Chains A and B, each alone.
Chain A
Amino acid sequence: DAGVTQSPTHLIKTRGQQVTLRCSPKSGHDTVSWYQQALGQGPQFIFQYYEEEERQRGNFPDRFSGHQFPNYSSELNVNALLLGDSALYLCASSSQGRHGYTFGSGTRLTVV
């Protein structure tokens, strides 16, 4: 039974560029949440998708956007990259009405 799959694992981008990160949830899960983890810090909530809609959003600018597909997989898009966007981006899947979360291994984004 596959857990949460994220791609790519590592990525290097230049300031001003755009990036798309992908996440496939654990089988049976319908909700995907995205988190940003800066070095030495705990993860910060970006947003959560359920039924192909953004249901909740953390304190992140509009440069951060996302999408959820009918098969529950999700994308995180970041436009106009800044150096400060360099971080580990984590995806977690869950089921509505249940409290268990499964995490992916993350995508490490470096902006130069």
Chain B
Amino acid sequence: KNEVEQSPQNLTAQEGEFITINCSYSVGISALHWLQQHPGGGIVSLFMLSSGKKKHGRLIATINIQEKHSSLHITASHPRDSAVYICAVLGDYGGSQGNLIFGKGTKLSVKP
């Protein structure tokens, strides 16, 4: 079983729809990242969370530390949101910096 699981693997939505991508993890973490990867390959960091909720424009990320679960929401989706969204956790190694453990990503396609 992977340490970071994302669902769904693929998601197709109509423009304007509300989208949710889920991430569950099984290890102790010091932070969780939501990342966006476009077809060219480069990765952009959207959010870094260690508790609660963050909002940036139409994007909202939440985390529940007790349940080891995070969600990324996109409101009023747009074709330019089409990308792969990746959840990555930073392991908690008792003070020393761990490394990022990635989910396999969710491929989002938003149709006009």
Contact = CB atoms under 8 A, between A and B. Distances in A.
Interface stretch (B42-50, B59-67, B70-78): B42-50
Contacts, number: 64
A94 B43 CA distance: 14
A108 B41 contact: yes
Looking at chain B's contact residues, the main secondary structure is strand
Interface residues of B, number: 25
B101 A45 contact: yes
Contacts of B103: 42
Contacts of A96: 97
A99 B41 contact: no
Interface string A74-112: 000000000000001010101011011111111010000
Interface of B: 4, 30-31, 33, 35, 40-45, 48, 50, 86, 88, 90, 97-105
Interface of A: 31, 33, 35, 37, 40-45, 48, 50, 55-56, 58, 88, 90, 92, 94, 96-97, 99-106, 108
